[in-house]
Structure 1
Amino acid sequence: MITTGVDLAAQPARTAVAVVAWGADGAELTTLRLDNTDADVVRLAQGSAQVGIDCAFGWPDEFVAYVSAHARGEPPHPDLRGIAGRRRLAYRETDRVIQSLTGRLPLSVSTDRLGLTAMRCADLLAAFADTGDDVDRSGATGRLVEVYPAVALRTWRVDVTGYKTDAAARVSATANLLDAAPWLTLSPAQRALMEASDDAFDAVVAALIARAHALRATHAVPPARTAQARREGWIALPATPLTDLDPTRTVASTPG
């Protein structure tokens, strides 16, 4: 099995791609690079069973309806006025589920700078579709799945405190991740890139989450939310320990 992880940014320079090959003897990080265009991402993901992309795949249904109504000159629906209403507009259903499961609320694709990256993600998903991929934003079918490295690491109990902003913390985070996944091999240059770039680090984690999703070791979309997830996107959150990704052992756990 091969999985690809993509830490998407609004511009190619900070877009990282990691490719991991999984075999009976372990897993090998075969590719890790920064500065990737949409065409680069699609090309590097060729042959992968699963592709984990760190970016929101869509916008909240209510936000889309709200903006459309505003464009038509209609007033906001009474339920969407005030602070409580704005919170509903800001977050997707998957964001609220992630908060309930982990205690951490993802960034808002409607109101944070993540929106610019999400616009690029829409282009990237279209690029995959142009090459024949089945783009299902819920992740239920096809190769593409939305991932969130920060909450996956929290679920896996890997300490990465401060890795986004502090170089020394990134060195510790990389060591902690590799200690937790001793079956993952990589070159000294790749390790150095993970230590130097949180984007590269997150791309590797995204590839690990892609493996979890391929093994059905992520929380499934509730059946009642399937249609909504196919519009808004759905974050694949690991439902089992990181050790269950070890290709040298039998995976016994199944997500609920």
Structure 2
Amino acid sequence: MRTAGVDLAADTKKTAIAVIQWESVRATVERVELGAPDEMIVDVAADVDRMGIDCAFGWPDDFVEFVSRHAEGARVDLSRDRGIDWRRRLAYRETDREVLRRTGRAPLSVATDRLGLTAMHCAALLDALADRIGPISRGGSGRIVEVYPAAALRLWQLSRPGYKTDAEVRAGLIASLEERAPWLDLDSVRRRLIESDDTFDAVIAALIARAHALGETHPVPPAVREQADREGWIVLPSGAVEALAGS
């Protein structure tokens, strides 16, 4: 099995990709690239079993409805709620609320934060992937899935404040990961992961893709399946990082 992870950014220069080769007793990070163009991502996707992409695959249904009504000149509908409750409902997807319930932290809002620029990039990338490998499910099934490395690290009890901005913190986090997962070979890429949070998150995204392939992720609640297929769904690990080892 081979899995890939993509830390997507609005700009190609900050987009990273990682590929992990899984064998019976060893998992080797065989490739890490920073500045990965969409063409490279598509080529890799066609050659791996699973790919996790760190970016929102869609926008909140309520936000889409609000923007569409506003564009048509309709009045703002405040019959359901108003004030900050209304704004929060529009800002977050159902999967974002699920992440908050499971981890205690909400992802950035794709509707109101700078993540929106990256999501525009992602929408075009998903089209390119579909052209190459077939239809892409936004709702957590299929070969391409939405992931959130920071949430996975939290669930794996590996999270460390500041890992995104501090190389020393990343170095300590990598050491903890290697202690928990001695079967994971980072020898050829360790320095690059310490130097760049983008490449590090790409490796974590590839680990989450492995969890998805093994069925070690939380399922989408049936009541929100159709909504997840529109908005996107963040795949969250359901087991420990040790469960990803080859067998």
- Counterpart of 2:92 in structure 1 is 91
**CA deviation profile, 1:139-197 (whole Å, cap 9, x unmatched):** 22x21100000010010011432111112111112212222211111334x10010000
SS in 2 for 1:211: helix
- Counterpart of 1:213 in structure 2 is 212
Give every structure 1 segment of 4 or more consecutive aligned residues whose post-TM-superposition deviation is greater than 6 Å: none
Amino acid at match of 1:55: C
- Counterpart of 1:39 in structure 2 is 39
- Counterpart of 1:236 in structure 2 is 235
- Counterpart of 2:14 in structure 1 is 14
SS in 2 for 1:131: helix
Within-5 A mapping of 1:129-208: 129-140=130-141, 142-188=142-188, 190-208=189-207
Distance 1:238 1:38 in 2: 26
SS in 1 for 2:133: coil
TM-score by structure 1 length? 0.94
Identity over aligned residues, as a percent? Answer: 54
Larger relative contact order (CA 8 Å, sep ≥ 6) = 2
Amino acid at match of 2:193: M
Per-residue deviation, 1:103: 0.6
Gaps of 5+ in 1: 249-256
Distance 2:89 2:143 in 1: 29
Distance 1:183 1:88 in 2: 42
RMSD over aligned CA atoms reads: 1.0
Gaps of 5+ in 2: none
Within-5 A mapping of 1:86-125: 86-125=87-126
The answer to whether the 8 Å contact 1:21/1:29 transfers is yes
The answer to whether the 8 Å contact 1:80/1:89 transfers is no
**CA deviation profile, 1:37-64 (whole Å, cap 9, x unmatched):** 1111111222211110000000000000
Distance 1:18 1:72 in 2: 43
TM-score by structure 2 length? 0.97
The answer to whether the 8 Å contact 1:160/1:176 transfers is no
The answer to whether the 8 Å contact 1:7/1:17 transfers is yes
Distance 1:191 1:132 in 2: 31
The answer to whether the 8 Å contact 1:159/1:176 transfers is no
Amino acid at match of 1:30: E
